[in-house]
Amino acid sequence: MKPQLRIWALAAIFILLLPMVAACGGAEPAMEEAAAEAAEPETAAESTEAESSSAYSEAPMLAEMVANGELPPVDERLPAEPQVVEPEDRIGTYGGTLRFGEVNPINLWSFATLRMNGLFRYDFSNTQVFMDIAKDYYFSDDFTTLTIELREGHKWSDGEPFTTDDIMFAWEDVAMNEDLSPAGPRSIWRAGGEPAVFTKISDTVVEISFSVPYPIIMNYLGRTGVATDNNVIMPKHWLKQWHIDYNPDAQKLAEEEGFETWMQAFNFHNRPPNNFRIDGPTLWAWKNETLTSDRAIVVRNPYFHQVDTAGNQLPYIDRIEAVITGDKEVQTLKASAGEFDFETYYIDMKDMSVFQQGAEQGNYRVEFAQNLFSAELGLMPNRTVKDPVLRELFNNKDFRIALSISIDRESMNDTLFFGLGRPFPATVNPGLSFFKEEWATTHAEYDPERANALLDSVGLTERDSDGYRLRPDGEGRLSMLIHVGVSEGPKIAMAELVRDDWAEVGLEAIVENLGEQGGLFSQRLATNDLQIPTWHLDRNALFGRSLGSNYAVDQTSFWTGTWKDWFRTNGEEGVEPPEEIKRQREIFDQYKLTAVGTEDFDRLGAEYYEYFTSEIPMIGTIGFTPRPVIISNRLHNVPLEGAAWISDNNFYAPFMPSQWFIEE
């Protein structure tokens, strides 16, 4: 059977992709109509559907377990129609342990994204959605109903059936449960302001209805992490023991486990697999096995739903062992010594000479993916920051402009990226149809003389003996905290260069790295204790629709502070935003419902993103940089043609780790 793929609705109109993406390899496949019944065979490693559920092969370690009576035969473990994956280069061999590294000891984020499987996944270009856990999906004619079809016979890693009951449980008993989700379901499930309605049609079919046409829901679900374990999928058979609606003794059980409430116990056991939940089942290719202070180990899932074109159940690799380094510099040293089989998340272009020198001895090669962030580091002054002096300054457009034009982006690009990135303000991808060329340069020129004049004009005229500007309230030196929320890539080094540039115009900034401290960044975000939070500017970069933290005025945007709480609670909490922000929210709510390529898409997109250029609520730095990828010479089937690096496709998903294999 030829591979079936459904491109999300009304995406038949081709979106121009960045030339840099094509420069990394072959051209990206064209977008196809949602109604297409079939497509030509995909490039290597794309998925197809199996025609038969017989004559499958399995890993020797699983065959031994079958022989010992510990597992049922492979035919009984696979779905009736497994997902068939065409290997990138060749059919692989079973066995081995993939060596990996992780900096973050709390949520093991890079290690998690490497292993994630979701209902769907994007390709490298971030324009096509492919099946993964789901067998198929389709829309109603008016795009108000999305139907998702699962694979008959699919099982969790503990052998229990995976059905639409697990999706209904995640929605009805968790997302819509006021005790577990007091803020209600995520914004992506409230198109038109009303929560979606989930309806179970059968064990393998679920319908999701919206109050308005909502074709771009697939724009969100294409990101693997949005439609995976702990999100729209939860193992009901396992979690219900901690849910009061299913277990009258849930409160007693919670107290026996040391929790005050059943909700705390439920949320603890329902924490996502990236928090290394040892005792729960998963649908991912590898299940969690061991966690110590310095390493995490996962082992193959015997019920994983993928096979290769020869009928071999995937994954090929038996185990992945992640060394928890806890430090980027240690991670870099270990990577350069060849101690990891694959690394890209925590390494930087600035260390390329180290990697090149160590490649032969370390038995690895250095490849490159194209980074699609419009800014590797986006600075987002919190407009409702608790400090009243900073709050007044952050809400002053001239002050924000001064912050931006005092950054020497060309020097940063040369220092950290060998001049291969693109100095860029906080705006959307140039491939969007409504993009205006002036957006690429406005308020992004290096002009310290003008920056000094603007800072003087906003009242920061007095300085101390070290040349730093003083607070207008007489409380000493004006100082700002740059809170780095993620250690991925060169963000710390970039923040430090920003700090140094701001010092040249008399502004003191202190860089706080919260990215290696687990959930501290999120905790401070929730309590409005971040001053200048930073993140990469991404999230649906090619379509200009955000899942939060960057451009949207929603539950997770960073620069809006407590304004977002006001929106979330209909004015009951937070701080009421100014009218211009309310208008931005209205425009975005309309924009995210429009189909790509329509007149409304261009009109609303242009109006919405013009604000980010003219008012500069966020500050961009360097975007579209090359991303170094270290690959051991013993690791095979790693796709590199057209490789792109963006959180929209969950970073690793297009690399298809399940079909990697180890051969010395």
Residues 321 and 259 grouped into a single domain: no
Decide: 482 and 509 in contact? Cβ < 8 Å.
Answer: yes
The answer to whether position 107 is within a domain reads no
Two structure tokens written together for 150: 């699962």
Whole-number Å distance between alpha carbons of 661 and 444:
45
The 10s digit of each residue's pLDDT in 24-67 is 333 332 323 222 332 333 333 344 444 444 589 999 999 999 99
Nearest-10 crossing angle of helices 409-417, 491-504? 150
Whole-number Å distance between alpha carbons of 225 and 147:
19
Two structure tokens written together for 286: 């590898």
Instruction: Inform me whether the pLDDT recorded for 483 exceeds 80.
Output: yes
Q: Give the pLDDT confidence score for residue 19 in this predicted structure.
A: 35
Q: Give the pLDDT confidence score for residue 297 in this predicted structure.
A: 94
Q: Give the pLDDT confidence score for residue 545 in this predicted structure.
A: 65
| Residues written for the chain | 664
Task: Show which of 592, 608, 623 is a domain's final residue.
Answer: 623
Residues 364 and 472 grouped into a single domain: no
Instruction: Inform me whether the pLDDT recorded for 347 exceeds 60.
Output: yes
85 CB-contact burial (10 Å; exposed 0-12 / middle 13-18 / buried 19+): buried
The 10s digit of each residue's pLDDT in 496-528 is 999 999 999 999 999 999 876 667 888 898 899
Residues 566 and 521 grouped into a single domain: yes
Whole-number Å distance between alpha carbons of 632 and 66:
32
The answer to whether position 243 is within a domain reads yes
Residues 656 and 565 grouped into a single domain: no
Residues 456 and 412 grouped into a single domain: yes
Residues 398 and 295 grouped into a single domain: no
What range defines the domain where residue 380 resides? 375-623
The 10s digit of each residue's pLDDT in 611-639 is 999 999 999 999 999 989 999 999 999 99
Q: What is the largest CA-CA distance in the chain?
A: 80
Give the predicted TM-score (pTM) of the model. 0.82
Report the alpha-carbon angle 598-600-603, nearest 5: 115
Separation of first and last alpha carbons in the chain: 34
Residues 500 and 630 grouped into a single domain: no
Assign 544 a pLDDT band (cuts: 50, 70, 90): low
Q: Rounded to 5 degrees, what are φ and ψ at 130?
A: -115, 155
The answer to whether position 498 is within a domain reads yes
Assign 543 a pLDDT band (cuts: 50, 70, 90): low
Q: Give the pLDDT confidence score for residue 25 in this predicted structure.
A: 36
Residues 250 and 316 grouped into a single domain: no
Strand 120-122, strand 508-513: pairing: unpaired
Q: Give the pLDDT confidence score for residue 28 in this predicted structure.
A: 31
Q: Give the pLDDT confidence score for residue 39 in this predicted structure.
A: 30
Run of H or E including 588: helix 579-591
Assign 547 a pLDDT band (cuts: 50, 70, 90): low
The answer to whether position 576 is within a domain reads yes
The 10s digit of each residue's pLDDT in 197-218 is 999 999 999 999 999 999 889 8
Residues 630 and 519 grouped into a single domain: no
Q: How many domains does the chain have?
A: 3
* Three-state DSSP class for residue 662: strand
For residue 568, the domain's CATH number is 3.10.105.10
The answer to whether position 150 is within a domain reads no
Residues 521 and 438 grouped into a single domain: yes
Residues pairing with 341 in the sheet:
none
The answer to whether position 215 is within a domain reads no
Run of H or E including 319: strand 319-324
Assign 588 a pLDDT band (cuts: 50, 70, 90): confident
Q: Give the pLDDT confidence score for residue 26 in this predicted structure.
A: 34
Residues 319 and 429 grouped into a single domain: no
The answer to whether position 540 is within a domain reads yes
Q: Which residues contact 349 (CB under 8 A, 6 or more apart)?
A: 416, 417, 418, 420, 490, 625, 626, 627, 628
Q: Which of 269-273, 449-453, 569-573 has the highest mean pLDDT?
A: 449-453
Residues 394 and 344 grouped into a single domain: no
The 10s digit of each residue's pLDDT in 108-165 is 888 888 999 999 988 777 777 889 999 999 999 999 999 999 999 999 999 999 999 9
The answer to whether position 164 is within a domain reads no
For residue 315, the domain's CATH number is 3.40.190.10
